Structure 1
């Protein structure tokens, strides 16, 4: 391709920033990041914002390469045939290639009362509102956190360490990713913090009111404030723009992260669904997918064939306040091992992981193409083959 190539990156999170920085390897590529906020939000820190130990914002000047242009706005629609994005301000931006990295947000459940009465943590503004609401609660007034995944666990622990009475309603298993040994360690840590943990199938929430959370087994949890962290959702931009998505709304791609509709659109991070078999959502995965998305675009600009995505997993970590964490060691295919590091040592590893999630972006900004990650090359292709066999063996539906 002759002349200058315009690449637009929608989303300025871990995936979008990594992709934008990596694209600056070529002098003939102009990169524009479109993001609704003027600052980078390290989402790994949002529970700390609620607890008051971290602001959870970083200036884009610290993480974004100098050559990357930042547009603070929200994309309203992608016109793939015309290669144009329309912003909510009414401005249009054309592109030669597009990286779709809009991230994820909290789920919008159909549970009565959640929208009216429950706070959230998944986005900066929601975390700021929650921090204000918690600060306004009289001393001793309890908080109920719904969701036994990473966000729920970390938020509950942060509030409890700050002196709040907390009940964590899991809606199922506490820390479903964790190995059972690590899960027992998590339960012990919560007991030490004074957190009441309600788990099991009967703890699915059926209604949230102004001062109660009602469970499927008939129990009612009384509290002064409810926090909803269960599930996730993605922005509806892809579907709204007529692009193919998975059932959740993530952009459907092939294994090179290229949209099944248009080879000039590549997806990365939480909003991507390669082969309808998305990776686990995390900052680590988002950064790696962002780098791979950039590599796919750079390959196409060079007239080369993009490579399929390849990633190995090492660990997953959860903080339990500022003094303890669980660093769960994982197999390459993202299954938890029986090995984990807990306590203060785990907290140190967790802090290193949070710091590195931003440091990797700054390193890529100063030396594009530098970021690398462990590869696997075995388990994902095997999963794809097994799924293809199951699909081929499935009986045809008769109308």
Structure 2
């Protein structure tokens, strides 16, 4: 009897985990099912490019996982019952209807969406680029703007910086501004901050610092200190919120809805469930939570897949540290900023800037997509593990983890 592994969500973390599991385990021993609402892989780190009209290369899962043994189920997850080990889904590939999937091991990788933080008017009037539908809506809206109209990007984090510069470069006729809660790039090194301001000045982006937005209307945003900023379009980039399904289960979650896991990405409350990417509360160096990002998601996918394979085959559990090396920021197509960081994600003095940094960031994006699109390369067949016990995970394994 095959051990049934279900992976929920096929973003960077979920797709990588499914492919790595297929590499680590033999098809005759395991049945791997990857559940995702869309039929192709979405490069989330490029949504700001999609929003300004750039075309992205399609990456159908049917091609990416052809011949791997991974079964693709195009469906939206509507419920998880960790007691009965079942997942309820609604089919999205045209057939419609609901289905119930049974698992022995579950990999939860449903990720996150935009977080409007309950700011009045944000949900009704602001745009978001946390996924393809939002990016396409913003794309249509930007295309309809006339010269001189205003775009306000709310949020001074990585997504906000990339979006503001991409829009300003693609549409120099627009009045683009960014509202940051603190100072522009205040977490970067001095060199990084200087380069960021240089690029913003060159692109004509107005920066509103210490500007916490408290309300969004159809034509403006209001800040906590009473400023009113005209906005024909408001783009909200203040952070992400995890998918709400985990919180509705018996899984132990944090106040933000992230699943609490150990160092192998295994749920501390349900040993047959693993959580990766934005959906997991993972602690790195200094016991600091990893930030929601592709940079965090892919290593957690490796850790989970290798841990599952080791436990099922009697192999050695992985002990690779989860740490950061740099933050890669695109500033349009011609400029970039690579901020080198400590293991726990604090900026150091060193930073790479300019066109070389832009090429570096592009290489990182291509490498991430390549890793997803080539899930079965890298491990020879002889390295695949043979299941020691192709049955449900031992419920007492938590104590030994």
TM-score by length of structure 1 reads 0.87
Q: Distance in 1 between matches of 2:221 and 2:57?
A: 29
Q: Distance in 1 between matches of 2:12 and 2:181?
A: 29
User: Which residue of structure 2 lines up, in the alignment, with residue 26 of structure 1?
Assistant: 25
Q: Is the 8 A contact 2:179 2:207 kept in 1?
A: yes
- What do residues 116-164 of structure 1 show as CA deviations (whole Å, max 9, x unaligned)? 1111111110000000011011222110110001111111111100222
Which deviates more from structure 2 when the two are superposed, residues 299-308 or residues 70-79? 299-308
1:140 to 1:11, Cα distance in 2 relative to 1, 3 A: same
Which of 95, 109, 114 aligns to 1:106? It is 114
- What do residues 210-267 of structure 1 show as CA deviations (whole Å, max 9, x unaligned)? 1011111111111211111112100111111221111111111112111111111001
User: Which residue of structure 1 lines up, in the alignment, with residue 365 of structure 2?
Assistant: 354
User: Which residue of structure 2 lines up, in the alignment, with residue 8 of structure 1?
Assistant: 6
User: Which residue of structure 2 lines up, in the alignment, with residue 377 of structure 1?
Assistant: none
Q: Distance in 2 between matches of 1:20 and 1:177?
A: 34
Q: Is the 8 A contact 1:17 1:64 kept in 2?
A: no
- Kindly indicate whether residue 205 of structure 2 is the aligned counterpart of residue 195 of structure 1: yes
User: Which residue of structure 1 lines up, in the alignment, with residue 89 of structure 2?
Assistant: 87
Q: Is the 8 A contact 1:101 1:270 kept in 2?
A: yes
- The RMSD of aligned alpha carbons is 1.8
User: Which residue of structure 2 lines up, in the alignment, with residue 40 of structure 1?
Assistant: 41
- What do residues 256-285 of structure 1 show as CA deviations (whole Å, max 9, x unaligned)? 111111111001111101368531222132
* CA shift for structure 1 position 307: 3.9
Count the aligned residue pairs. Answer: 366
Q: Distance in 2 between matches of 1:252 and 1:154?
A: 30
1:369 to 1:85, Cα distance in 2 relative to 1, 3 A: farther
Secondary structure at the counterpart of residue 207 of structure 1: strand
Q: Distance in 2 between matches of 1:336 and 1:277?
A: 15
- What do residues 346-373 of structure 1 show as CA deviations (whole Å, max 9, x unaligned)? 1110100110111122343233589xxx
1:178 to 1:56, Cα distance in 2 relative to 1, 3 A: farther
* CA shift for structure 1 position 335: 1.8
- Kindly indicate whether residue 334 of structure 2 is the aligned counterpart of residue 323 of structure 1: yes
Q: Distance in 1 between matches of 2:249 and 2:279?
A: 14
Structure number with higher relative contact order (C-alpha < 8 Å, ≥ 6 residues apart) = 2
* CA shift for structure 1 position 166: 0.3
- Kindly indicate whether residue 184 of structure 2 is the aligned counterpart of residue 174 of structure 1: yes
Q: Distance in 2 between matches of 1:349 and 1:271?
A: 28
User: Which residue of structure 2 lines up, in the alignment, with residue 127 of structure 1?
Assistant: 135
Which of 231, 237, 241 aligns to 1:223? It is 231
Q: Distance in 2 between matches of 1:280 and 1:176?
A: 17
Secondary structure at the counterpart of residue 168 of structure 1: strand
TM-score by length of structure 2 reads 0.87
Secondary structure at the counterpart of residue 58 of structure 1: coil
Spell out structure 1 runs of 4+ moving beyond 4 A.
none
User: 1:196-345 maps to which residues of 2 (within 5 A)?
Assistant: 196-200=206-210, 203-274=211-282, 277-304=288-315, 306-307=317-318, 310-345=321-356
Q: Distance in 1 between matches of 2:31 and 2:186?
A: 42
Secondary structure at the counterpart of residue 160 of structure 1: helix
Q: Is the 8 A contact 1:296 1:306 kept in 2?
A: yes
Q: Is the 8 A contact 2:288 2:344 kept in 1?
A: no
Q: Is the 8 A contact 1:23 1:29 kept in 2?
A: no
* CA shift for structure 1 position 54: 3.4
Q: Distance in 2 between matches of 1:352 and 1:250?
A: 30
Q: Distance in 2 between matches of 1:92 and 1:129?
A: 32
Which of 350, 365, 382 aligns to 2:376? It is 365
Tell me, which stretches of 5 or more residues in structure 2 are unaligned? 91-96, 382-401
Q: Distance in 2 between matches of 1:65 and 1:360?
A: 15
Tell me, which stretches of 5 or more residues in structure 1 are unaligned? 371-399
